[in-house]
A and B are shown apart, each in its own frame.
Chain A
């Protein structure tokens, strides 16, 4: 079974500074990776996904992530953060379960706090 580890539970950053949120997954033959964002008291929204192809994936709101197969990592980056990026971020890997259904396995989440 797949597993995901988010290495930092909380990341405080000053506004306009760069940020990296780290994610490692258990290795598998095929892997599909996702980053979701959860703003306070809301559901999860997809930031970006890696299914195949280019290892550098660009998402919404200026975020990007790099798939590194040798290090089994999928770290999320943004060169300059804004107050509005304050949220919880979840890394997830897709696993195929019964009847071909896709199941997402989530990391524990990283709370990103942007300070002025």
Chain B
């Protein structure tokens, strides 16, 4: 049981390049999330997927796209990277139960630098 896994761990891009961050969970969770972490700002939600087949914008979606490939996998794509997207990206997942809240589990993060 690996929990939430993310690839790659580190990435350096040039401005304008594209890339996809991968996330997978093996806990049979319904909902998945992408956050970015910047110094002094905590974690901010980029996109989330409440269940397989659905995605919605979070707090800071501009410049990103997502795909919920299946129940296990949720990818984040940067179409044209900008220096402002230099950050640490975390994927998270949760078992969604109607009318109840539960714990979000986080992956180890991807450290992205855009030059």
A interface, CB within 8 angstroms of B: 4, 6, 9, 32, 34, 36, 42-46, 49, 51, 90, 94, 97-104, 106-109
A106 contacts B42, C-beta separation under 8 Å:
yes
Q: Which residue of A lies closest to B6 (CB)?
A: A43
A99 contacts B51, C-beta separation under 8 Å:
yes
Known: A90-B43, A100-B96. Is A43-B107 also a contact (CB below 8 A)? yes
A100 contacts B42, C-beta separation under 8 Å:
no
B103 contacts A42, C-beta separation under 8 Å:
no
The prevalent SS among residues of B at the interface is loop
B101 contacts A51, C-beta separation under 8 Å:
yes
Near A by CB (< 8 A), chain B positions 91-110 give 92, 94, 96, 98, 101-109
Q: Does B50 contact A (CB under 8 A)?
A: yes
Residues in chain B near residue A99, CB distance under 8 A = 50-51, 54, 56
Near A by CB (< 8 A), chain B positions 1-60 give 4, 31, 33, 40-45, 48, 50-51, 54, 56, 58
B42 contacts A42, C-beta separation under 8 Å:
no
A46 contacts B40, C-beta separation under 8 Å:
no
B interface, CB within 8 angstroms of A: 4, 31, 33, 40-45, 48, 50-51, 54, 56, 58, 90, 92, 94, 96, 98, 101-109
Contacts A/B (CB < 8 Å), 23 sampled: A4-B42, A42-B109, A43-B90, A43-B106, A43-B108, A44-B106, A49-B103, A51-B101, A90-B42, A90-B43, A97-B56, A98-B56, A99-B56, A101-B48, A101-B50, A106-B42, A106-B43, A106-B44, A107-B42, A108-B40, A108-B41, A109-B40, A109-B42
Q: Which residue of B lies closest to A32 (CB)?
A: B101
Residues in chain B near residue A90, CB distance under 8 A = 42-43
Known: A90-B42, A94-B101, A108-B42. Is A101-B96 also a contact (CB below 8 A)? yes
Supply 10 further A-B pairs (C-beta < 8 A) apart from A104-B45, A106-B42, A106-B43. A9-B40, A36-B106, A45-B106, A90-B43, A99-B50, A99-B54, A100-B96, A101-B51, A104-B92, A107-B42
